[in-house]
């Protein structure tokens, strides 16, 4: 891998887009490496994933404009489909994914963060969908996930005007869950990831599936999805361990992901 770095800290995976000189912009190679890395992550030994960008200036400053500038209609559609395929894989990854947004999250960078379950930002983070100022639309899911996250009116305003949203406003909009000084960002993200990883992994994965799948259907169908995931937890060792410990007024043994 030239532009994507992956490491593990206990049960937490850390994926870093490592193209700092280009502010971690997404070109075809970065997208390919990102997809290959996500495909390689195993839920057997990874319970949470953090995605971030190299350096302190930029999470991802967007898709690579120099690559996009000469695309034909067909090539543009294919490039958008490639990005959407990768980001959808991140969104559907069974384990929770945290975006550690350490600076610019513009265009494809904002869209990448939106494909994650939780966004935590540094104080210097800036979010925007500036595509209409370049003669295009958001192409990696921004027209869909942004509206679902902050509401359709504000999403339209951001996209139509190309306006930038700083970290404090992003927090007030619900675009991010928390804001920290740059030097504390990864430490806080790791704390959150480790807190998630301490809980029953199968139950966490089931909760993610119930939320994500349920948000796409009517409430009656969503409740049925929840019931299926809820019921499935009762055949796991971790459920029996935790509930027995609760009834016996003691701490459960560490969860074994079975």
User: Domain for residue 255, yes or no?
Assistant: no
User: Domain for residue 256, yes or no?
Assistant: no
CATH of the domain at 235: 1.10.12.10
User: Domain for residue 84, yes or no?
Assistant: yes
The model carries a pTM of 0.96
Are residue 104 and residue 43 in the same domain, yes or no? yes
Are residue 205 and residue 191 in the same domain, yes or no? no
Are residue 60 and residue 138 in the same domain, yes or no? yes
Are residue 163 and residue 216 in the same domain, yes or no? no
pLDDT tens string 162-176: 999 999 999 999 999
Annotated catalytic sites, by residue? 111, 131
CB 62 within 8 A of CB 25: yes
When divided into structural domains, the chain yields a total of: 2
User: Domain for residue 124, yes or no?
Assistant: yes
Are residue 189 and residue 74 in the same domain, yes or no? yes
49 bridge partner residues:
13, 97
pLDDT tens string 36-55: 999 999 999 999 999 999 99
Q: Which residue reads 């994500």 in tokens?
A: 212
Are residue 169 and residue 227 in the same domain, yes or no? no
The pLDDT value recorded for residue 146 is 98
Q: What is the distance between the alpha carbons of residues 30 and 7, in angstroms, rounded to a whole number? A: 17
Are residue 9 and residue 95 in the same domain, yes or no? yes
User: Domain for residue 252, yes or no?
Assistant: no
The pLDDT value recorded for residue 185 is 98
- pLDDT at residue 151 tops 90: yes
CATH of the domain at 20: 3.90.226.10
Are residue 160 and residue 212 in the same domain, yes or no? no
CB 206 within 8 A of CB 229: yes
Which pLDDT band holds residue 236 (cuts at 50, 70, 90)?
A: very high
Q: Report the SS3 class of residue 251.
A: coil
Characterize the bridge pairing of strands 118-122 and 97-101: parallel
Which pLDDT band holds residue 106 (cuts at 50, 70, 90)?
A: very high
Are residue 74 and residue 153 in the same domain, yes or no? yes
User: Domain for residue 55, yes or no?
Assistant: yes
What φ, ψ does residue 136 adopt, rounded to 5°? -135, 175
Are residue 35 and residue 146 in the same domain, yes or no? yes
User: Domain for residue 258, yes or no?
Assistant: no
Q: Which domain holds residue 61?
A: 4-197
Are residue 23 and residue 141 in the same domain, yes or no? yes
Mean pLDDT for all residues in the chain: 96
In 3D space, the residue among 238, 240, 239 whose CA is nearest the CA of residue 257 turns out to be 238
Q: What share of the chain has pLDDT > 90, as a percent?
A: 97
User: Domain for residue 254, yes or no?
Assistant: no
Are residue 180 and residue 233 in the same domain, yes or no? no
């Amino acid at each position: 891998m030239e532009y994507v770095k992956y490491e593990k800290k206990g049960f937490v995976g850390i994926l870093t887009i490592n193209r700092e000189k280009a502010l971690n912009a997404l070109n075809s190679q970065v997208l390919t490496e990102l997809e290959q890395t996500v495909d390689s992550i195993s839920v057997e030994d990874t319970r949470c994933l953090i995605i971030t960008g190299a350096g302190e200036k930029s999470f991802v400053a967007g898709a690579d404009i120099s690559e996009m500038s000469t695309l034909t209609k067909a090539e543009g559609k294919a490039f958008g489909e490639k990005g959407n395929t990768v980001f959808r894989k991140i969104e559907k990854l069974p384990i929770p994914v945290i975006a550690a947004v350490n600076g610019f999250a513009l265009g494809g960078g904002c869209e990448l963060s939106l494909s994650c379950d939780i966004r935590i930002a540094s104080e210097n983070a800036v979010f925007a969908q500036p595509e209409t100022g370049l003669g295009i639309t958001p192409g990696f899911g921004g027209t869909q996930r942004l509206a679902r996250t902050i509401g359709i009116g504000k999403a339209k305003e951001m996209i139509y005007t190309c306006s930038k949203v700083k970290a404090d406003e992003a927090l007030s909009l619900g675009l991010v869950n928390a804001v920290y000084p740059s030097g504390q960002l990864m430490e806080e993200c790791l704390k959150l990831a480790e807190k998630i990883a301490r809980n029953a992994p199968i139950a966490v994965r089931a909760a993610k599936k119930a939320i994500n799948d349920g948000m796409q259907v009517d409430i009656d169908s969503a409740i049925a999805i929840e019931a299926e995931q809820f019921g499935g937890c009762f055949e796991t060792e971790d459920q029996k361990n935790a509930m027995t410990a609760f009834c016996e007024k003691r701490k459960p043994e560490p969860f074994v992901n079975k």
